[in-house]
Homo-oligomer: A and B are copies of this chain.
Amino acid sequence: MEKLHYADYLQLEKLLSAQDLESEKKGKKAHDEMLFIVIHQAYELWFKQIIFEMGSIKNLFNNEYLEDKTLGLINSRLQRIVKILELLNDQIRIIETMTPLDFLDFRDLLQPASGFQSLQFRLFEAHLGLKWEDRSPVERQYFNSRLRKEERAILDNVIAEKSIRELIDSWLSRLPFLEFSNYTFWEHYRTAVENMLNSDEQSIQENHTLSDPEREMEIKNLKATRESFETLFDKDKYSKLLDKSEVKFSRKAMLGAIFIFLYEDHPLLHLPSRILNSLIEIDELIIKWRYAHALMAKRMLGTKIGTGGSSGHQYLKKTAQRHSIFSDLFNVSTFLLPKSQVPVLPDEIMERLSYHFDVLRKG
């Protein structure tokens, strides 16, 4: 049997024969089209890796009982996705070595193909938790018309699955942190919140450097904060937000996330909080990637239309934050308190949230 060879293992024959320049076929070879193809293929390779990691993460979440061992694995794979997304953001610097004029050399030949047709990027969004209803009508029609039937089918299947966002939601909801035997955490938390908001209000009132319009603005901000706390404490108000899809996480999940961040330095909450932070990082990096692409499109085409007959800049800019999946986790910060004001948990609970090396010594 033949010995394994690097070129066969990586199937380089396939990989390196997959770059055919449209401009060459059309008899007017444009040097920079090669870069255009290679960089998009590099993106697609990394999308495959990201989707592969997300699939495994979904499987790991898909069992009722998650022990810490699994959480460590989940987080290291989320962190791998983070590193890949950092690379994909840096990768933009390479395409910027192509001038708008170089691009115009072959752009018309690519019509109507478009980056919007990247099935893997749509799957990436779907695995994370983006649903059809999160997209604008135009966007939906757009994908309907631009994705092939079979691509559309694959996408719909993934959208039908429980997304990572949903799995996180049910994981957070079933975390056993919310009601304790004879200790009602939320009452103590609520009191602490009141004190904080009052002192914030005072700080604005006493801030003589503020002009009146500024002060008004700040008071308005604070009022908004009070209201968001209200929506947290009041089941009905919260469901209204859900109906208007201003929030995506269930109330129970939000409370779980807040508890995790408030007590993240307790051993048992260490990995859960790292996982939530990894999700925030991923969301942030996708937002930055969309935004950077919006700027790049503007730089390449100005207000011209993209190869897909679409105005990339506007689309990417608009969706940068609108398609955020974990914005609720960003907002958890709204609900945090200074350590000094965080309710102290009863010893009994503290004990349960800790573990010690010396359990081993006992052996």
Contacts and interface: CB of A to CB of B under 8 A. Distances in A.
B304 A333 contact: yes
Nearest to A182: B363
Contacts of A353: 360
Given A68-B354, A80-B94, A304-B334, A117 B5 contact: yes
A180 B363 contact: yes
Interface in A334-363: 334-340, 348-349, 352-361, 363
Interface residues of A, number: 155
Contact of A108 (B145, B177, B199): B199
Interface in A17-45: 17-20, 22, 28, 31, 34-35, 37-38, 40-42, 44-45
Main secondary structure of the interface of A (DSSP, over half): helix
B44 A264 contact: no
Contacts of A9: 22, 37, 110, 113
Interface stretch (A126-134, A242-250, A294-302): A294-302
Contact of A14 (B17, B264, B334): B17
Contact of A18 (B4, B11, B262, B292): B11
A363 B353 CA distance: 11
- Tell me how many chains of this kind the complex includes: 4
Contacts of A145: 209-211, 214
Contact of A38 (B45, B334, B352, B354): B45
A37 B9 CA distance: 8
Contacts of A267: 67-69, 72, 355
Contact of A16 (B19, B44, B97, B114): B44
B10 A37 contact: yes
Contacts of A157: none
A1 interface: no
22 contacts: A4-B113, A6-B117, A8-B113, A10-B18, A15-B44, A31-B56, A34-B52, A66-B357, A72-B265, A104-B339, A144-B211, A204-B305, A209-B309, A218-B305, A218-B309, A268-B357, A280-B299, A288-B292, A288-B295, A302-B333, A352-B363, A355-B355
Please name the 9 residue pairs, one residue from A and one from B, whose CB atoms are nearest each other, closest first: A302-B334, A6-B117, A302-B333, A68-B267, A11-B18, A104-B338, A80-B97, A176-B360, A100-B333
